[in-house]
Amino acid sequence: MKLQLNGEPVETRGDTLADLLEAEGFGGAKVATAVNGTFVPAGLRAGHILAEGDSVEVLAPMQGG
């Protein structure tokens, strides 16, 4: 399936947001996620089914001040 991940085209075999994060190296990272502009909490990622053409954003927390 073809998706956009942080504005870049990617292809994945996974069906869920959790599958995509694992495949792209974000599996254990503390990140915030949104699909098509809607926030998806960490606890719901395994059940969030992705569709062809979805736009996924993954944001890491920033430190500093």
Q: Which residues contact 5 (CB under 8 A, 6 or more apart)?
A: 20, 24, 56, 58
With tokens 């909490």, the residue in question is 41
Looking at the domain assignment, is residue 17 inside a domain? yes
Residue 49 inside a domain? The answer is yes
8 three-class SS? strand
Is 64 domain-assigned?
no
Domain boundaries, position 41: 2-59
Question: Residue 52: inside a domain, yes or no?
Answer: yes
Residue of 53, 22, 19 whose CA lies nearest to 35: 53
Q: How many domains does the chain have?
A: 1
User: Residues 37, 40, 46, 49: is their CA dihedral positive or negative?
Assistant: negative
Residue 54 is assigned to a structural domain of this protein: yes
Task: Write the CATH number for 54.
Answer: 3.10.20.30
Q: Residue length, the chain?
A: 65
Per-residue pLDDT of the chain (65 residues; tens, 9 = 90+): 999 999 999 999 999 999 999 999 998 889 999 999 999 999 999 999 999 999 999 998 776 66
